[in-house]
Amino acid sequence: KWWKKDVENMVLRDRNHPSVIMWSIGNEIPGRHRPDVVETAKMLGDFIRTTDPTRPVTSAVNDLKPDKDPYFATLDVAGYNYAAGGDHNQESLYAQDHKRVPGRIMAGTESYALEAFGSWMGVVDNPYVIGDFVWTAFDYIGESSIGWRGYWQKQDFFPWNLAYCGDIDICGWKRPQSYYRDALWKENQLSIWVTPPKPSFELNPDRQPWSKWHWYDVAGSWTWKGYEGKTLDVAVYSSCEQVELFLNGKSLGRKPTNRSNQYTAFWQVPYQHGTLRATGYKGKKQVTVSELKTAGDPVQIKLTADRPVIKADGQDLSYITVELNDPDGLRNPDAENLVSFSTEGPGSIIAVGNANPVSLESFQLPHRKAWHGRCLVIVKSDLKAGPIIITATTPGLKSSTIEINSI
């Protein structure tokens, strides 16, 4: 009996937010082929339209078969979960569904990381597909390891505790697939990725072929101590017309990057200490450069706040990235030092993190191991204004401080 009030409260609360572009009445609702569920969908959609007639109504649907047509007919935008490379075992469903129902407006409401190319080409090629929502933007706690070990999940996956499928990790840092999407979405994008000599985590030989929430095992690192002379696989994600790869100034060749190779060029490179550099070209003109450099042992702690000034309202936050850098200021991607934190002034540490999906460390204690050479500390203001001093320490390195002004 509360459904009207609940829906009305949601719409009235959020309808003035410019980031709201559609209203969804559900995700993968059971029984979408049944007449009673179709009637409920129509009832919900009609009520939302009377409350906010300016935005379309959608719903995210999986098991994409023609028996869902009556359900889709109640929506303004048909939400397709895994239209590209999904468990229907077809490359894409957009074109064939458009042929059957020409007036249907579609959107990808969930898509696999591993199918990023096909999912976005479905938007580029088809004017009736208005966009693609990926699963998922930010990584999260739960559905542990679907982005590595995949389905079916088992109890012996412990200590995995993060899904590890986000384009952005739980600390807010971009992961490799996010850089790949840059190449799909924008001009003159370039990034270099290296397949580790050994898998980053234990592999799951029983991962199901339809379980595609993972990305390739790659790292933005050219620091592989002990693997000198070993040939490593290098991938360059690029929206430039051509890419040339250099190792310590020596060209390893120029290759095209375009739709035919899914905006990715590959090299096999014998590892040696130094600089791996990719140069992107448009015609004969150099348009961008990306580099990976070998890092030395960490000797310093670098603290960087996303917001150096926050409000003294007892709620505002500053997210401080902690990096373990070598003498040249390069982050050492192998550093896993335990970093401890303390504060002075009108603020407190409310959380720490490092995005390691198998770490069992506390999110609330004032210390955290680095992972890939960095971790995160989050500081919250008090009700009193003034400078907040945060100090980071780890054995063998000089401590570092940063000041956040609470006003």
Pair 190, 236: CB distance under 8 Å? yes
The pTM of the full predicted model, rounded to 2 decimals, is: 0.95
Q: Write the CATH number for 74.
A: 3.20.20.80
Given 134, 156, 176, which residue is the final one in a domain? 134
Is there a single domain that holds both residue 369 and residue 341? yes
Residues of the chain with pLDDT under 50: none
pLDDT value of residue 136? 95
pLDDT at position 87 is 73
| pLDDT recorded at residue 86 | 80
Are 40 and 125 within one domain? yes
Instruction: Please tell me whether residues 284 and 314 are part of one structural domain.
Output: no
pLDDT value of residue 89: 75
Tell me if 119 is assigned to some domain: yes
Cβ atoms of residues 387 and 291 within 8 Å: no
Structural domains counted in the chain: 3
Buried/exposed code over 32-56 (b: 16+ C-beta within 10 A; e: otherwise): beeeebbebbbebbebbbeebeebb
Spatial separation of the C-alpha atoms in residues 390 and 56, rounded to whole Å: 46
Residue 175 falls within a domain, yes or no? no
The pLDDT score that the predictor gives to residue 289 is 98
pLDDT at 90: 78
Answer with the one of 250, 266, 293 that is the final residue of a domain.
293
Same domain, 15 and 76: yes
85 shares a domain with 39: yes
CATH at residue 277: 2.60.40.10
pLDDT tens sequence across 57-100:
999 999 999 999 999 999 999 999 999 988 777 778 999 999 99
Nearest to 345 by CA among 383, 304, 378, 315: 383
Residues 221 and 315 both lie in one domain: no
Provide the pLDDT for residue 92: 82
What is the per-residue pLDDT for 305? 98
Q: Are residues 388 and 269 in the same domain?
A: no
Domain with 382, as residue range(s), is 300-406
